[in-house]
Amino acid sequence: MKYFFYQLKKSPLAIIGIAIIVFWLIAAAVGPSMISYTYTQMDSMNQMVAPGEYGHLLGTDSLGRDILARIVYGSRSILTVALLTSMVSTLLGILLGFSAGYFGGKVDTAFLRTMDILMAIPPLVLSMVILGILGNSSIVSLTIIVSIAFIPATARVSRGVLLTEKSQEYVSAARIRGENHLYIMFVEILPNTTGPIIVEATARFAYSIMMVASLGFLGVGLQPPTPDWGMMVIENKPVIAQAPWTVLFPALAIASLVIAISIFSDFVSKVLIHER
């Protein structure tokens, strides 16, 4: 932890990244209570108001809804889904990847082929098809589907780190004192693989934000009236010429969060490599 702050001092980019993430976390937590509008409230007198006018800090959209309010409320759903997705896909990835790598042989081959098939379909297309069939998507269904789409990636990373650890002598030492497989996998090996797995989980966090926003943009994400950043972009596309801010601000929100998390993820991996 001391090393984390030492490196942080030397890396202004990481500070900016962390600041942006913290900003969005605070926005999601306390933002809604600080804004006088709600995300559904339509100011019918003031449609497509430019930023700063008539008390709308970031302007309004074609229906007169406050953009700031919609972005802030939207951050709640997107952060919830992304956080849950990265956690669920990482946990399932560890389970699957560890079992495959540990037992090897036919289990491993079956695992690898299944993952190959899943990976051959782009995660976005996969999620889109499933969501399309299901019809309406909620936070829960979105989380489950995006997690499944991400499992090949997290499971492969887990399998990879397990394989390097598996050949270590402490695993042999555990075997010849008669430990069972579960103990060896989760008590002996798991604590030594947290580094790469945490890095992958943070990377997945960034990817899931992209994914949720993309699904929203494609119209299969969270359904209205729940505000969704991707959906805001597509809703306001027809008025992009008259009111560019209606698209710009949600797009900026997506970009800033994704980039900030990516920077953070890179930084974490740098720090964790040193710890090894």
Partner 1 sequence: MNDNILEIENLHVRFSTFDGLFSAVNNVSFNLGYNESIGIIGESGCGKSTLAFTIMRYLASNAQVEGAIRFKDKNLLENSEKEMESVRGNRIAMVFQNPYSSLNPSLTIGFQLDEVGMHHQKLNKAKARKATIEALEMMNLGDPKGIVRRYPHQVSGGIQQRICIAMALLCKPDLMILDEPTTALDVTTEAVILDSIAELRDRLSMSMIYISHDIGVINKVSENIVVMYSGEIVESGPKQQIFENPVHPYTRALINCMPRGGVVKEKTKLNTIPGYVKKRGTDEGGCPFADRCDKKNDTCISEYGIKKIEGTHFAACNRAYAEDIPDKLKVRLTPKKRKNDPDFDIEHNLLKLEDVHKVYGTRRKVYAVNGIDFAVKPHSILGIVGESGCGKSTTGHMVSGLFPPSKGRVIFEDTDISIAWNKRNKETLKNIQLIFQNPGRSLNPSHTVEKIIGRTMQKLANINDKNERRKKIIDILRKVDLGKEYLEKKPPQLSGGEQQRVAIARSLSISPNLIVCDEPTSALDVSVQASVLNLLNDLQVDTHVAYLFISHDLNVINYLSDYIMVMYAGKIVEYGKRDEVMENWHHPYTEALLSAVPEVDPTKQKEIIELEGMLPDPTKKVKGCPFAGRCHKQVGEICEKEYPPMVRLSEDHYYFCHIKP
Token pair 């399998």: residue: 159
Task: Provide the minimum distance between the beta carbon of 159 and partner 1 in the complex, in angstroms, as a whole number.
Answer: 19
What does the alpha-carbon distance between residue 263 and residue 19 come to, in Å, rounded to a whole number? Answer: 11
137 three-state secondary structure: strand
What amino acid occupies position 99? S
Cβ-based nearer residue to partner 1, 10 or 224: 10
Task: Provide the minimum distance between the beta carbon of 111 and partner 1 in the complex, in angstroms, as a whole number.
Answer: 21
Task: Provide the minimum distance between the beta carbon of 203 and partner 1 in the complex, in angstroms, as a whole number.
Answer: 23
Task: Provide the minimum distance between the beta carbon of 267 and partner 1 in the complex, in angstroms, as a whole number.
Answer: 15
How many Cα atoms occupy the beta-carbon half-sphere of 34 within 13 Å? 9
Cis, peptide link before residue 225, omega less than 30° from 0: yes
What does the alpha-carbon distance between residue 112 and residue 100 come to, in Å, rounded to a whole number? Answer: 8
Cβ-based nearer residue to partner 1, 2 or 34: 2
Contact 60, 49 (CB under 8 A): yes
Cβ-based nearer residue to partner 1, 34 or 176: 176
Residues that bind partner 1 (CB under 8 A): 3, 6, 168-170, 172-179, 188, 191-192, 274
Cβ-based nearer residue to partner 1, 110 or 173: 173
